[in-house]
Amino acid sequence: MPKLSGIGQKDAVRVFQKLGFRIARESGKIVMSNGQIRLSKPCHNPSNAITMGAIAKDAGLTPEEFRKLL
């Protein structure tokens, strides 16, 4: 499982917005969608490294690609 440690909530949201994802709703987690893929990210800072890696993978990114977009 890819790991992305130390990624804050605002940074992660900004990266996914660059990829065309928009915030669908916010509650205990942020749900983002691009019309085809739906991502769900917990609202705590910083996110768990394994969780963040799995979310990036679901969006179609490798850890290296995600870090470049930060």
- Asked whether residue 1 carries a pLDDT value surpassing 80, the answer given is no
Average pLDDT over residues 28-55: 91
Is the CATH code 3.30.920.30 the one for domain 9-69? Answer: yes
Residue with the bigger pLDDT between 18 and 43: it is 18
SS3 string of the chain?
CCCCCCCCHHHHHHHHHHCCCEEEEECCEEEEECCCCEEEEECCCCCCHHHHHHHHHHCCCCHHHHHHHC
Domain borders along the chain are 9-69
